[in-house]
Amino acid sequence: MRKEYPKRTPTGENLYNYFLTRVRNNLHVVLCFSPVGEKFRTRALKFPALISGCTMDWFQRWPKDALVAVAQHFLVSYPIECTDEVKQSVINTMGTFQDIVAEKCVEYFERYRRRTFVTPKSYLSFIGGYKAIYEEKFASVGSLSERMRTGLAKLMEAEVSVNQLSKQLVMKEKDLALASKKADEVLLEVTMKAQAAEKVKMQVQKVKDKAQIIVDEIAIDKAAAEEKLEAARPALEEAEAALQTIKPSDIATVRKLGKPPHLIMRIMDCVLLLFQRKIDSVTIDQERPCVKPSWTEALKLMNNSGFLGMLLSFQKDSITGEIVELLEPYLDMEDYNLEMAKKVCGNVAGLCSWTQAMAYFYGINKEVLPLKANLALQEGRLAAAQTELNNAQNQLDEKQMELDQVQAMYDAAMKEKQALLDDAEACRRKMNNATALIEGLGGEKVLAH
């Protein structure tokens, strides 16, 4: 305002008037309305100033050349898969269609007295719609073409694969036949080995049963012997305890006696009899109603430094019935007991208890000895049976080892056969799939043509 009106005062009112002047001179509003539909009528009724205060330009029907020119403008650079002549024909057809529709609108009004319009906007929408439909259909045809190319490629690939798989399947079936034959041969050998092993196993079982019978018999005899010996155990333990009380000094004391008590001499006679030592000739004793003791032989036995050890390690099974019969006159005498021996002999009285226990033990052991003899015989039979069992078991182990080896061979053959069978089945399945693909793609190819 200062440049245009340097002399005018820049008050608020002057500035506002200047602003309005510039707006009137410079502000141009162009409103484009289409007469198509009811909106133009409605807006004209609601806003009368749009008509009364404006300069209205009515655009009439475009000529055909203009329509072709517009189509040329929008489609000349648009890619269409055709020759230039065909593309130019499409452009001309666009203008022709729009011009024909405009003529039909006039005929429609004249016939039905109802106004309808086609405007430049309609024409532009028509061109845009054509382009959108063309792109959509072009993409669809391109997708179908690509599928067709892919299908043809797969078809060719499938044909090659089928030929190769057919050859491979023939080879695999030959290998499978060989593997089946090999597995059958190995199976036959496995069956023979298994039968042989089963026979040996039955033999071993018989030997085992025989040995078990012997073991059971031994157990019965052993239990019976132990049961009978258990009855003599208390007396033996008591006798062994009495022997433990005898000291070498006690024996030495008895040896030094010039005239030992008669009971001691009788006890030592019993000891001599148990040890099966020499005794004097049988003569009647003048003092007692019994055989005269063999004290000289008793002294010889007692002079042995290992006398006590001999008593402790005495072999009780060596006692015979004859010895016990010789002992009975001594044992039946009234004073031949532990209490009287303790009064007369002191600690040496343990020999009295020991001789009584040995005689009592024989009474039980004479029933046990046959059991022991039978037990020894049975143990010999058991040892022989065990040897036979070990030999049979070794033979069974050898047969089992051979069977395991053949079974391993059979398992390997069956594994190889199964692998070949799976491989052949996979090859056959691939070939069937390829054949189905060829047939399916062949049908699509016919439809495409």
Domains and CATH numbers, the chain: 31-118 (no CATH), 175-449 (1.20.920.60)
Bridge partner list, 291: 284
pLDDT for res 14: 93
Q: What pLDDT was estimated at residue 217? A: 77
| CA torsion angle 13 17 18 21 (round to 10) | 180
What does pLDDT average to in each consecutive run of 10 residues of the chain (449 residues)?
89 94 89 75 85 78 86 88 89 89 87 82 88 92 87 76 77 78 78 78 79 78 70 66 68 71 80 80 70 75 77 79 82 80 74 79 72 71 74 74 74 75 76 73 53
d(CA 312, CA 241): 10
- Cβ within 8 Å of residue 168, ≥6 positions away: 427
Look at residue 442 in the predicted model and tell me its pLDDT.
60
- Return d(Cα 268, Cα 292) in angstroms, integer: 12
Cα 119 from Cα 19, distance rounded (Å)? 39
Question: Can you give the pLDDT at residue 13?
Answer: 93
**Rounded CA gap, 146 and 150, in Å?**
6
Task: Give the number of C-alpha atoms closer than 13 A to the C-alpha of residue 278, restricted to the C-beta side.
Answer: 5
Look at the chain and count its residues.
Answer: 449
Encode 294-309: b = buried (16+ Cβ within 10 Å), e = exposed.
Answer: bbebbeebbeeeeebe
pLDDT at 12: 92
The pLDDT value recorded for residue 132 is 93
